[in-house]
Amino acid sequence: MDWNKRSVLITGGNGFIGANLIHRLINMDVPMIRVIDNMERDKHYNLNNINEKVEFIQGDLRDKTVCLEACKDIDIVFHFASKVGGIAFYKEYAADVLSYNISIDMQMLEAARKTKIRRYIYLSSAYVYPLGRMQDPYSIPISEAEAIPAQPAISYGWAKLIGETALQYTVEQDQTMKGVILRLSNVYGPYQSMDLKRGSIIPVLIRRAIEYPNLKPYLIYGAGEETRSYCYISDALDALCRAVEKLSEYQLIGPLNIGSEDRIRIIDLVGKIIDISGKKIKVERKKAPPPVLKSQTLDCSQANLVLAGWKTKVTIDEGLQRMYDYVNDKMNFQ
């Protein structure tokens, strides 16, 4: 596929994954990149690196006229926009998250149909999977078929399942559109939020290590025995781009799990970050309710099969070192 002849729209392009994709597409000589974002979060840092190839629209995707304008003259849509936060945020604002995310998913998909978008990439999540499959820290990795019967832990997961289904029906009904559905799990990397209250776990733990001992105590909540599998952003972008290219062979790709299959306990993740810092940091544990999810590891063998051998390349040690350097540079610059 000739990327240098395509026009691309990224919804939610000011977010972490969107910002990284923008830079990847610029390096691939994509001639026109359009970004739409409501700028609800992280207003200060992601879009300041945009160059002349990138057109930015600030708008609300619940408005169908905004969606139609965003899709005009576009070949490929990467639909990343959604209302996101931590587990506590999802629990407190469950109805708002469900309503908002379903609304923007439906408006964007309808706009894509009306403007005859040929390739539509929907970013889904490991949160579509049943809560019961995430209660054993060392459970067998979850396969794509296990999303049904459905029992997501949070409304965000329900909304993603509905968004996936809507795209599947659209592709079946309207053969002019091709679709990709990727279920990402615990992706991390540059441009991720370091906000101490709402930021992602890896950049926040790194920031706390860098600021220690001025910022004390170095806390983790609970025992830290829950496990996660972390995927570095470059590996996730490889999967996204390869999926678009493979649409020459498929009408619909996915849902596919995209993530690392190497799990790590949170307490061990903390230990690796402390080792990178080179500091003597005293970890203090704060009592907390049991974690909602004790594991979140996906079986990514289907992605390896469909996406011509795709698998993660960046180890957790290498990824953490890259992130430590990034956060350190970012804090020194501020």
Within-domain flag for 130: yes
**Peptide bond between residue 149 and the one before it cis (omega within 30 degrees of 0):** yes
CATH number at residue 79: 3.40.50.720
Within-domain flag for 267: no
User: Average pLDDT of 255-268?
Assistant: 97
pLDDT tens, residue by residue, 114-138 = 999 999 999 999 999 999 999 999 9
**Number of domains forming the structure of the chain:** 1
User: Average pLDDT of 247-275?
Assistant: 97
Within-domain flag for 327: no
Within-domain flag for 31: yes
In this predicted structure, the answer to whether residue 176 has a pLDDT above a threshold of 60 is: yes
In the predicted model, what is the mean pLDDT of the chain?
94
Within-domain flag for 219: no
Q: Per-residue confidence at 326, pLDDT binned at 50, 70, 90?
A: very high
In this predicted structure, the answer to whether residue 80 has a pLDDT above a threshold of 90 is: yes
Within-domain flag for 49: yes
In this predicted structure, the answer to whether residue 140 has a pLDDT above a threshold of 50 is: yes
For residue 87, give its domain range.
3-188+232-239+248-259
CA neighbor of 49 nearest in space, from 190, 241, 195, 196: 190
No. of H helices and E strands in the chain?
10, 13
Q: Per-residue confidence at 331, pLDDT binned at 50, 70, 90?
A: confident
Which tops the pLDDT comparison, 331 or 170?
170
Distance CA 226, CA 21 (A): 30
Within-domain flag for 264: no
Within-domain flag for 300: no
Give the pLDDT score at 44: 47
Q: How far is C-alpha 227 from the geometric centre of its chain's CA atoms? A: 18
pTM of the model: 0.94
Max avg pLDDT among 44-58, 77-91, 289-303: 289-303
In this predicted structure, the answer to whether residue 42 has a pLDDT above a threshold of 90 is: no
The region of weakest confidence among 71-75, 192-196, 281-285, 311-315 is: 192-196
